[in-house]
Chain A
C-alpha cells in the first residue's frame, strides 16, 4: 500500500468518490459554524467596529490562494517526474479554484480597506504580490486552454508552474523593496507574544479549516470531472476509429 496507488485513475475515482461526501459535509459544517460564530458571536473591535469580521473570509481565502499554487507546484513536479496523469489533471483542476480564492481575498480586502484605510487599493507589498499571483494563475490557465494535445499541455504548464513559482516568489520579495507596507503583519504565528485575541482567532481557525475542506472538495470534484472528460474523449476517439 503506497500513496502512488492513487495515481491509478480507477483507484483514484473509487477512493475519491467514497471520501468526497464526507469532505463536502465537513466543509459545509465548518464553514457554517465558523462564519456564523465569526459574524454573530464575536465582539466588535474597539477601533474597527464590525468591519473586522471580514477577516473570517479574507484570511482563509488568502491562505488557500497561496496553498492552491503550492499544491499545483507539487502536482506539476509529480507529473514531470513520475508521469501520473491524475497529478497533471489535479493541477489543472486546482488553478481556477486558486483564481477564485485570490479574487475573493483581493475583493474582501478592498471592501475592508475602503472604510479602514480610506482606500480600496494601495500598492502595498502584500496586495501587489497577490495581484501578481493572480496574473500567474491567469497565464497558467490560458496556457492550458491554448494547447490541444493534453500531454503537451500538461508538460508545458508544469514547466511554466515551476518557473512561475520562482518568479512569483522573487516578485513577492522584490515588491518589499519597492514600497513600504500598509498591511498588518503576521498575527497568527505560534511563536509570537502578541497575536489576535482568542475571541477572533478561534472562529478564524474554524473558517480556515472550512476553506481547506472546501478547496479539497472542489478539487476532488473538478479532478473527477477532468478524468471523466478524458475517458469520454477516449471513448469518442475509439468510436470514430471503429
Chain B
C-alpha cells in the first residue's frame, strides 16, 4: 500500500502530473473574484469564506479524472485489481494520494490567497482547520466519481456533473464553520458535521468505488 501511495504521489509531482495545476487554478479563481465583484475590501471580506471554499472545491475537481484514467489506459489498474491488495484498499490509497497532492497544498496556500480577499483576522485559523478537515471528503467523493467514469472516453465533464451535487453538504458545513469561526461565533457544530462527512465518506465510499471499478474492468 505504501509503495502504491509513494508511486502515485511521485507520478503526480512530476511534470505533466498536474500537481501545480490545481494550485494555479485556485490562485486564478481567487484573483478573478475581485474583478467580478469590485475591489471594496468590506464586501470581499464578507464573501471570502464562501469564495475560498468554492475555489478549493473547483481546484480539487480539476485533477479528479487523473486518479484512475492513466492507470486504466496503460493497464496498471487491471494489475492492481488482481493483486492481493483488496480493491477497496487501492481506492483508499488513491484517494489519500490525491488528498496529499491536492487537498494539503490547497489548504496550505489558502491563507495566502485569503490575504487577497481581505479575510478578517480571526478567519485564518478556521480556514486552515475547515479545509484540513473538509478536503479529505472532497478527495474521497471525487475518487468515487472517477471510479464511475473511468471507462468513458470523455468522462471529465460528466465527472464534474456527477461529483458537484455530492459536494453540496461538505461545502455547506465547511463554509458555515468558517463563517461562524470568523465572526467569533460557536463553530463546533458545523465542524463536527464536516468531520462526520469526511469520516463516513472514508468508511463507505471506497466500497462503492471499488464496486464501480470492478464493473468498469469487466
Contact = CB atoms under 8 A, between A and B. Distances in A.
Interface of A: 132, 135-136, 138-139, 142-143, 146-147, 152, 155-156, 159-160, 162-164, 167-168, 170-171, 174-175, 177-178
Given A156-B148, A159-B208, A167 B158 contact: no
Interface stretch (B74-82, B113-121, B167-175): B167-175
Interface of B: 144, 148-149, 151-152, 155, 158, 161-162, 164-166, 168-169, 172-173, 176, 190, 193, 197, 205, 208, 211-212, 215-216, 218
Contacts of B168: 132, 167, 171, 174-175
Contacts of A170: 169, 197
Nearest to A179: B172
Q: Is the interface of A mostly helix, strand, loop or mixed?
A: helix
Contact of B164 (A135, A160, A163): A135
Contact of A139 (B165, B176, B211): B165
A151 to B, nearest CB: 8
A143 B148 contact: yes
Given A146-B152, A175-B172, A155 B215 contact: yes
Contact of A177 (B190, B211, B218): B190
Query: Lowest 4 CB-CB distances: which A-B pairs, in order?
Result: A135-B165, A174-B169, A155-B215, A139-B162
The residue among B164, B169, B208 with the most chain A CB atoms within 10 A of its own CB is: B169
Contacts of B165: 132, 135-136, 139, 164, 167-168, 171
B204 to A, nearest CB: 8
Nearest to A157: B148
Nearest to A176: B172
B77 to A, nearest CB: 15
Contacts of B152: 146-147
Contacts of B176: 177-178
Contacts of B190: 177
Contacts of A147: 151-152
A165 B216 CA distance: 21
A14 B212 CA distance: 34
17 contacts: A139-B158, A142-B162, A143-B149, A146-B149, A146-B158, A152-B151, A152-B216, A152-B218, A156-B215, A159-B212, A162-B208, A163-B205, A163-B208, A170-B169, A170-B197, A171-B169, A174-B169
A90 to B, nearest CB: 20
A160 B148 contact: yes
Nearest to B168: A171
Given A146-B152, A175-B172, A156 B212 contact: yes
Contacts of B173: 174, 177
Contacts of B164: 135
A132 B190 CA distance: 20
A164 B145 CA distance: 11
Contacts of B197: 170
Given A139-B161, A142-B158, A177-B190, 17 more contacts: A135-B161, A136-B165, A142-B162, A156-B215, A159-B148, A159-B208, A159-B212, A160-B148, A167-B166, A167-B169, A168-B165, A170-B169, A170-B197, A171-B169, A175-B168, A175-B172, A177-B172
